[in-house]
Structure 1
Amino acid sequence: MPEIRHIVFDIGRVLIHYDPNLPFSRVIPDEAKREWFFANVCTSDWNLEQDRGRSWEEAEALLIAQHPDEEENIRAFRRFWHEMVPHAYDGSVEIMLGLIEAGRDVTMLTNFATDTFAEAQARFPFLTRPRGVTVSGEVKLIKPDRAIYDLHAESFGLDPAGSLFIDDSPKNVEGAKAAGWQAVLFTDPDTLRRDLGRAGVWPVAARN
């Protein structure tokens, strides 16, 4: 395989934890009702459109028109979003910062709504450390569509064949491979270290 010269991190569930159940265990205490709500109202597909650039106002209005009895619960999704991202994954952050400090070229590519990404970056300053980031909500493209990988590579001058992408979603990993990148599935920091070792970029060492 070509030498890895660029390392690209996903963010949610790779560098920071994300779980909508954290606030909604309080908002909708009944587990069956909560499962119904996420399966039928604030679904993953609905949330993904905010990652694609749809405003929260539009998103809420759409669902409230369909489920007027759920208005408060619908609005709770954005209102309590900060509780869904309670902490960073210290091991993953340590790896990313170690790569940066060793002189590796590190960027980020994430499906994230524009406003919540700004909030996350303010709360987790390490998200400002990589050379740059492509945020889906800003560019109106989402993983695993090939266009966002191509845009990221063009924007940051990456050679896809020499780029290693790290994501927790199998379909996003496959999307990167389809775009000509190398990619690994994130499960935990120890596995990531092994994957980086096989790629020849871990343990880190200062580069000339």
Structure 2
Amino acid sequence: MSVQAVVFDIGNVLIDWKPERFYDRVIGEDRRRAMFAAVDLHEMNDRVDRGANWKDEVEAVAVAHPDWSDEIRMWHDRWIEIASPAIDHSVRLLRALRRANVPVFALSNFGIQTFELAEKEYPFLAEFDRRYISGQMGQVKPEPAIYEAVEADIEFEPEGLLFADDRQDNINAAASRGWQTHLFTTSEKWASRLVKDGLLTADQAL
């Protein structure tokens, strides 16, 4: 089936999301490695992505790990520096698809409060036809329920969806449901895929 709609992940597809890089810059790689070995910050973030209160989760982990409390609180206080910058070429592709009248959706693991902050920093997040945000839904990728919820809400068959995500497990889950998929590594390769599938011309995909 030809592609009828495009589904974007957000983190590492439209916005860089590399917390380790932020901490390497701020506290140095050696201290970052020690902190991430002592504190499971990604597990903390997963709880936020499921809908837990962002500030409360960060504060609870900071209190539980006093040796790293200042650094852990940066996950809240300096979050917009962690979730940056925008991937400009991917943003252009999103807008090019809209101009070409291709329906575009977002499906992303994202907290309720963090997404509210991201919307203020990145206005293009308001440009999707619909957005499926894990914290708001109480479901996360790659669990089947979140894909089922998307399928139940939109008017396209799973086989007509093209989904771009940077994580193989999320891609595999979508593919198992019949979605067409693209493992995102660079915006240039994503552009080539959109051209290959006839959604954009080469000029539109620049």
Q: Please, what TM-score do these two structures have when normalized by structure 1?
A: 0.89
3-state SS of 2:6 partner: strand
The corresponding residue for 1:85 is 83
The corresponding residue for 2:130 is 132
Q: Distance in 2 between matches of 1:191 and 1:132?
A: 24
Equivalent residues of 1:99, 1:204 under 8 A apart: no
Q: Distance in 1 between matches of 2:37 and 2:136?
A: 27
The corresponding residue for 1:194 is 192
Deviations 1:128-180 (Å, cap 9, x if unpaired)? Answer: 11101010011111111111111112223331111010111111111111122
Runs of 4+ in 1 over 4 A off after TM superposition: none
| Correspondence list, 1:22-33, <5 A | 22-25=21-24, 27-29=26-28, 31-33=29-31
3-state SS of 2:185 partner: coil
Q: Distance in 1 between matches of 2:138 and 2:46?
A: 11
3-state SS of 2:52 partner: coil
The corresponding residue for 1:18 is 17
Unaligned ranges ≥5, structure 2: none
Deviations 1:59-110 (Å, cap 9, x if unpaired)? Answer: 2354245323322222121111011123211111111110111111111000
Q: Distance in 2 between matches of 1:179 and 1:49?
A: 25
Equivalent residues of 1:106, 1:131 under 8 A apart: yes
2:182 aligns with one of 176, 181, 184? 184
The corresponding residue for 1:156 is 154
Counterpart of 1:176, as a letter, is A
Q: Distance in 2 between matches of 1:174 and 1:157?
A: 22
The corresponding residue for 1:114 is 112
Q: Please, what TM-score do these two structures have when normalized by structure 2?
A: 0.90
Which range moves more in the overlay, 141-150 or 20-29? 20-29
Q: Distance in 2 between matches of 1:115 and 1:55?
A: 7
2:141 aligns with one of 143, 157, 165? 143
Unaligned ranges ≥5, structure 1: none
Q: Distance in 1 between matches of 2:194 and 2:201?
A: 8
Counterpart of 1:151, as a letter, is A
Q: For this pair of structures, how many residues does the alignment match?
A: 204
1:171 aligns with one of 169, 173, 176? 169
Q: Percent identity?
A: 33
Q: Distance in 2 between matches of 1:86 and 1:58?
A: 23
Which range moves more in the overlay, 140-149 or 84-93? 84-93
Equivalent residues of 1:42, 1:74 under 8 A apart: no
3-state SS of 1:134 partner: strand
3-state SS of 1:202 partner: coil
Equivalent residues of 2:58, 2:76 under 8 A apart: no
